Structure 1
Amino acid sequence: MSSSVRFTEEMLGHITFGETDFARGARPDGEGAAAFMFHLTIEVADVNHFGNDPLRAADARGWVHCDALGGQLPVVNGWFNLFVDQDGKPGVKHMLYRLWFYDGVGHPLTMIGHKVVANDGGFDLWKDTTTLFTRVLRGHVPEGADESAEIVGSGIIIIRMRDFAKQLTTFRASGPGLGAQLGALVKFGVIFVQQLAQVYLRRGSRKRVAAQG
């Protein structure tokens, strides 16, 4: 029987409708700007398989909240990838989010987001792992179809320090006995630290990332 790990994450910030640039979309005082947040429980169903396959997605459930889209809106399907290597960019990894939901009048929407984990400006682990470049797309868009989808809005959402502290208390494990559960939590922590080490302790990674722009 496999062991699973789950935790809760909350992020908030702003998107701007009709905007494609993340930084411009994150400005709270721009025309078309709207507060945007999510509250998710992410569950890794099989920690061992998750660690061996970076493309294996964890399940994400919860809700997004945006008054301009209809308030608190349940996530009907959600996926999360912890660390995904980027082709041609050694020492750069993305954390990926994809959430399907409906707006307040029933139109299907997709939130996609990525965190860029890269040793490109000193030891910026906190910023990298708590900053999500976010887009809302029209329709329920599957993986691989983002480029052809209509962009509803773009922006940036973040984890606040107090929310991160709370997140650390939400880690739970399920498995065949206490030993397996503790082992799953340790395994997940090891996966996380090893992946970060590949980025921040990789010799010459900062120079390579900078050279690639």
Structure 2
Amino acid sequence: MSATVRFTEEMLGHVTFGETDYARGAQPDRDGSAAFMFHLTIEVADIDAFSQDPLRPADARGYVHCDALGGRLPVVAGFFNLFVDQEPGVKHMLYRLHFYDGVGHPLTMIGHKVVENDAGFDLWKDTTTLFTRVLRGHVAEGEDEGAEVVGSGIIIIRMRDFAKQLTTFRSSGPGLGAQLGALVKFGVIFVQQLAQVYLRRGSKQRVAAQG
């Protein structure tokens, strides 16, 4: 029996209804803009299997909050993937949350963080910026292109929320040693994946050339 790892994450920002562009949708003063946030507990059910799976999947549970959609709305199914390879030197963190609005319409929040050494050592921005869309219906992976976009925007982790997040890491499993080992293994995976991006051979030369 492998140990689990879980932590809590909170992100907030704005989405604009009827918008498909992330940056425009993130502007709080636009018509149709609404504050949007989520509070999630992300759980890796089996740290050993997680470490071997290139998709690094985990469950996400909690709620989204958007007054324009009906307030605090429970996540009925949530999915998270840590550092999925997109191309050499680029990794995505992926979020998919199914929920219902205040009158019972099914919705899906999808989001991705782009981890890429394209602007110097921009690790903080990359790992705390989520490009976010709300889709009509409960949309499964692979069906996004055919789904109706309700709104788009960007949500972020604030520094104080990140500091709090670091205190929420927990593990459960067969004994204290296994639990501590699971937390260490998760940390090693996280650091190794970041190193593959920011310490990748040639990345400094590319950034210098862009400058």
- TM-score over 0.5 for the pair: yes
Q: 1:209 to 1:175 in 2, by over 3 A?
A: farther
The 8 Å contact of residues 77 and 99 in structure 2, kept in 1 or not, is answered as yes
**Paired position in structure 2 for 1:135:** 133
1:26 and 1:201 mapped to 2: Cα distance? 31
Whether 1:170 aligns to 2:168 is: yes
The 8 Å contact of residues 4 and 184 in structure 1, kept in 2 or not, is answered as yes
**Paired position in structure 2 for 1:62:** 62
Q: 1:165 to 1:70 in 2, by over 3 A?
A: same
1:140 and 1:96 mapped to 2: Cα distance? 16
The 8 Å contact of residues 118 and 199 in structure 1, kept in 2 or not, is answered as yes
Could you list the runs of 5+ residues in structure 1 that have no partner in the other structure?
A: none
Q: CA deviation at 1:97?
A: 0.1
Q: Percent identity?
A: 86
Q: Give 3-state SS (helix, strand or coil) of 1:152's partner.
A: strand
1:174 and 1:150 mapped to 2: Cα distance? 39
Question: 1:49-89 CA distances to partner (integer Å, 9 max, x unpaired)?
Answer: 11111214200000000000000000000000001000xx3
2:33 and 2:48 mapped to 1: Cα distance? 41
Q: How do 1:74-153 and structure 2 match up within 5 A?
A: 74-86=74-86, 89-153=87-151
**Paired position in structure 2 for 1:15:** 15
2:32 and 2:11 mapped to 1: Cα distance? 20
- In structure 2, give the amino acid aligned to 1:163: D
Count of residues paired in the alignment: 209
2:17 and 2:174 mapped to 1: Cα distance? 47
Q: 1:193 to 1:34 in 2, by over 3 A?
A: same
Q: 1:29 to 1:100 in 2, by over 3 A?
A: same
**Paired position in structure 2 for 1:39:** 39
Q: 1:151 to 1:209 in 2, by over 3 A?
A: farther
- In structure 1, give the amino acid aligned to 2:36: F
TM-score of the superposition, structure 2-length normalised? 0.96
Q: CA deviation at 1:205?
A: 2.8
After the TM superposition, which parts of structure 1 deviate over 2 Å for at least 4 consecutive aligned residues? 205-211
Q: Give 3-state SS (helix, strand or coil) of 2:80's partner.
A: strand
Could you list the runs of 5+ residues in structure 2 that have no partner in the other structure?
A: none
Q: 1:9 to 1:160 in 2, by over 3 A?
A: same
- In structure 2, give the amino acid aligned to 1:29: D
Q: Give 3-state SS (helix, strand or coil) of 2:31's partner.
A: coil
The 8 Å contact of residues 43 and 60 in structure 1, kept in 2 or not, is answered as yes
What's the Cα RMSD here? 1.4
